[in-house]
Structure formats: C-alpha cells, structure tokens
Amino acid sequence: MIRPFLFNRIFSLLVLFSFSSATAAIKEYNTELLIIGGGASGTTAAIQASRMGVKTLILEETEWLGGMLTSAGVSAIDGNHQMPSGLWGEFRQKLYQHYGGPAAVETGWVSNTLFEPSVGNKVLKEMAHQTNLSIWYKTEWTSIKRKGNGWEIETLSKGKRSRIYARLIIDATETGDVMAYLKIPYRVGMDSRSDTGEVQAPEQANNIIQDMTYVVTLKDFGPGSDRTISKPAGYDPKEFECSCDVADPSAAEHHPNIDCSQMITYGKLPNQKYMINWPKCGNDIYLNILEMNKKERTEALKSAKLHSLRFIYYLQNKLGYKNLGIADDEYPTADKLPMIPYHRESRRLDGLVTLTLNDVSSPYQQKTSLYRTGVAIGDYPIDHHHLKNTAAPQIDFVKIKVPSYNIPLGALVPKNTSGIIVAEKSISVTNIVAGASRLQPVVLTIGQAAGALAAVALKNQQEPAQVSIRNVQAALLASKAYLMPFIDVKATDHDFTTIQKIGATGLLKGTGIPYKWANQTWFYPELSISQFDLIQGFKSFYPELKELYPSGEQSNAEFVSKLFTSLLHKDISVGDLHKALKGRDFKEELQKQTVLNRRTIAVLTDHFLHPFDRQIDFEGNLKN
C-alpha cells in the first residue's frame, strides 16, 4: 500500500515531468518579421526586408518557394515584360543566365518568359540566401495571437511544435488565410457598382470568384512513346471539344480559330515540357474553397485534379499526343502534379485604401491621388476566368480597356488592425481590378513592397499605417523597383530614379494607353511640354503657386526659371539652371529661349524643389 504522502510526491513529480516535457517539446524562436507563405510575394518580401537588415523568417507549407510560379506550376510570366521592376527583373535575369538568354525562355506564345517550375524554385532559393533570412519548410501555423506589441505564433512541422515571437507579420498566403483567422475585414467575390463606383460592376454583389486550375506539367518523351494515363473516372470527351479554339478573345470580332498544336504550345516550356493551364474547354474549373478548412479543401481539390487528368487523357487519347506524359522530374509529389492549385482569386483585404477600376483607368482624374503612393506596377489587362460558372454575371471583361497602373501602398495595410501587412492576391483592390493585379510579376512586386514597408516600420518602431510613404518608396527605388509604370524610362536610365520621383508627385504626368495584352504608360522624356500643361501639373502639387500667365508655347529655360523663382521666393536665373545641368548633354550655354524637354525639367525640378521630400498620406494628399 502506498502511503498518502508518498502518493502525493509521486503525483507531483509526474505532473512536473509532464509539464517539463511539454515545455521542452516546444521550440521558441524570436524574429522581427514573420512572413506566412513562401509564395511569389512572400519570397520577394523576405528578400527585400532581409536586405534592409531585418531579421526575417518565412513559414512555408511545401518544400518549395514561389507559390503560383512554381508550386502551382504557372511558370509562364504574364505581363511586365517591358518593366522588369526590382526583384522581378532580378528573377528574370537569373532565368536568362540559367537557360542562356532571353530567346531561350521565349518558348511558348503566351509569354516572353517561360521556365520549368523546378528551375524557378531553384532560382528563388538562391535569391533567398540572405544573411538575415531563415526559412522553415513543410511548416504549418496552428494559431496566431497578439502578444504585447507583437505576435505569438504556434507552428507544427513533422509532429514538432514551435512557438514564434514576431514584431510584425505579413500574410503572404495564397488565399488570405491569416487575415481571415484574425477576423480582419475582407471581401470575397464580385462587388456591387454602388459600393465601388465602377459602372462595369454588377448591380448586386455576390460571392462568385474566378475559375481555378490544377495545372499539369507535361513532358515530351519522344516519338513512339505512349504515356497515356489511365482513363479517369467521369471522363467525357464532349467536355473538351472546343479546346483547340485559340481565337484571341480580345479581337474585335470573335471567330473560331481551330489549331490543336497552337493550343498545346500555348505554354511550351524549355526542355520540351508543357504547362497545361488552358481556359477554353480545358482544365479550368469553378471551385470556391476560400472559406473551407484545410480538410475540406483537400477533399474538394480532388475534383480539380481529376478534371485536369480528364483533360490530359483527352489530349493523349483523342488528340493523339500520346508522347506527352506527366513530367516525372518536376514536383516532389507522389502523383507528380503540383503541390497546390492555381488560385486566380483570394479574399481581398478591406484596406486603408481600395484600388478601383476608376483609379486604374484615369489615375489623374480622381478625388484621391493614389498613384502618388504607388509601390508596385502592372500592365496586364483585366483578365477574368468565368467560363465554368454559368451563374456568373455576363461581363465582357476583355472589353474593359485600361492603361498600365500602379498599386497604392495603402492597399497592403488593414484599416483597424496593427502589426500586420497583407500581400499576394489578397490586397485591397476591387474584384474587377483583381483580374489584373493577380498576375505573377505584379504579385512579385507587391511582395517586394510589403518587405520594404515592413523594414521601414520596424526600423522606425512604427506601425505600417504610420510610416512615411516616401521612405518606403525610396527604399524600393534604391532596389531599382518601379513606382510609376513608365515603359519608356528603364531602370538602367541614368535619370530613372529622378523621373520616378517626379512622376510620383504628379508634377509631370504619364500618358496611359490600353494596348493589346501589354498596356502602357509613357513619360515621353525627350518631348517638350507646353507652359500651360506644365503649370497645370505644378498647381496640383503647389496650390500656392502664383499665376504666371502660361501660354501654349513650349516651356523654355526662361519660363522654368520664373516658375522656380515664384515657388522658392528667390531668384533662380537661367544661369542657375545651366549650372544645375553641368555635365549633361548641354554643350553650349543655356539660353532663355532654349526649349527644355520633360527629362530636363524633371531633373531641374528635383534639383531645386525636392518635391518628393514632401510627405503624403495614404490617399496621396499632401501633408501640412
């Protein structure tokens, strides 16, 4: 018989041992910045923040980096070919180096940059070798809660638990799961036109999202090979009969153009591989899993995989591409399919500002000046996939014409929640705009902006909503990232930073043009500008500007000197302008009647007025 005091002693020891074991099983880790999701935006956010000296940790559920570019198999970049901004340009350059130049990645007609998903993962991992950056692969987060001025996050990896303490977090998940968990306000589906002011939006809001795709990467195993898969359950060849129609939906008239070989080479990758991500009677599927839990999502995605396999069987059995089999050297999965589906649409944050179609279409004519706060750029059209859901309103998105655009910083910041930044496809844009902002190079630059925002906030001990927008933009410019989508002033231009700064003030505006599948905004640096137009731009930034009685004549050195004199309340002579341009293209003394082009006026404006130094709020208004 055990004596009572001995029993109590043993019980206490057991309790202490159990508590100690549980405590010992939880590894604790401290970091300044935690990024949840190592996808397109999570990876670039981490690289940018760590390069700015911030201790950064990525949690990634798979063993790859890159998300939709790699783990989802969408390895054909849509858009921004003429604007290789920041880390997007760096990523592309490394692909060029790997494959042997630009021509080596122009293998499919859908894109100028195509690559094998496994190579994309390899390149991103090389770029992520940063002193301040750690990455935990195959790691899930299980809980997130506020802890003082920071966060406490619990994770699970291979049965082992960890606890992370972070000052700031970035939600870079594919579907905005962190903000949903924290009950940060967000939107799902189509907005009503009364809410957004977009006449193209439906009258009533709904929860319909874009079709998703479970991409398949095929490989050519050579003539005579038969890589036909087993007939998938529910296969019906009629479902795919119109898949060989490759007619451009943006064409003025819609006529069928049947070419099965062109459909196959749509996403042809290097090394005789093929990205199968085909919308028209292909492997798109309507499946809204946004509000499902992980178990429900896993079950639902079986139908998306099965649908893609039916399409592959159709290509092999009906169209005769038996030599194209599922690539066996791409993904580390049992079925050799990508680790995740391609989500075209996510939950969308209710942010400090919301980018609407009106802002994109006419950025300079809005009550707000969101373009001044730009931190990421895009040139792809409004591209929505709704062919698989007959309940979707019949909106011809292709007819919505827009120029290239930029993403405002406030679209990454929640209204009433501190300590978190939102990236990936979950930023605060309307449903219509999300059809353009979802593309890979845009999301890469959104991630870089999120990393810069986090670094500035942490270094200044501020919340993201309190930072100087100009400080974030300056950090991005230092990394050769674009603030304004000026197609004709490349990052290699010696005046790139200056013109970007002046463009972000609105003193000299760009000219936006909808153009096929790569929209444009031109700065026209070598053109002159009329006195009237110059004054109009300056008045939007300097309301105190006194009347100079501009004419329609082109702005010359004398007029610009008068303009600066009026604003600075001190005499700025033509000789002063000449001195400021020393070492540039002016070989002779600047004369009063010398007409100045937009580039020169931008340089002089930056030199004498420093307008970029004036602080703005998240709507682009000037602060006192």
pLDDT band at 588 (very low <50, low <70, confident <90, very high): confident
The string of pLDDT tens digits covering residues 416-427 is 999 999 999 999
Q: Report residue 596's pLDDT band, with 50, 70 and 90 as the boundaries.
A: very high
| pLDDT confidence bin for 304, thresholds 50/70/90 | very high
pLDDT at 374 (0 to 100): 98
Report the C-alpha gap between 180 and 71 in whole angstroms. Answer: 23
In angstroms, the CA 574 to CA 592 distance is: 6
CA 99 from chain centre, in angstroms, equals: 24
pLDDT of 63: 98
Q: Which residue has the tokens 């490989």?
A: 219
Kindly state the tokens that stand for 252.
């003025």
pLDDT at 16 over 90: no
Whether the predicted pLDDT of 70 surpasses 70: yes
Is residue 624 very low, low, confident or very high in pLDDT (cuts 50, 70, 90)? confident
Pairwise CA distance, residues 208 & 391, whole Å? 8
What whole-number distance in Å separates Cα of residue 491 and Cα of residue 85?
8
- Residue with structure tokens 């019949």? 394
pLDDT at position 21 is: 46
pLDDT of residue 347: 98
Arithmetic mean of pLDDT over the chain: 95
Tens digit of each residue's pLDDT (9 = 90 or more) over 161-209: 999 999 999 999 999 999 999 999 999 999 999 999 999 999 999 999 9
pLDDT at residue number 251: 75
Task: Give pLDDT, residue 582.
Answer: 87
Average pLDDT rounded to a whole number, residues 453-478:
98
| Per-residue pLDDT, 9 | 57
pLDDT of residue 22: 47
Instruction: Read off the pLDDT of residues 329-361 as tens digits, 9 standing for 90 and up.
Output: 999 999 999 999 999 999 999 999 999 999 999
Give the pLDDT confidence of 546-569 residue by residue, as tens digits: 878 999 999 999 999 999 999 999
Do residues 448 and 48 touch, judged by C-beta distance below 8 A? yes
Are residues 105 and 96 in contact, defined by beta-carbon separation less than 8 angstroms? yes
Residue 326, pLDDT above cutoff 60: yes
pLDDT in tens, 273-290: 999 999 999 999 999 999
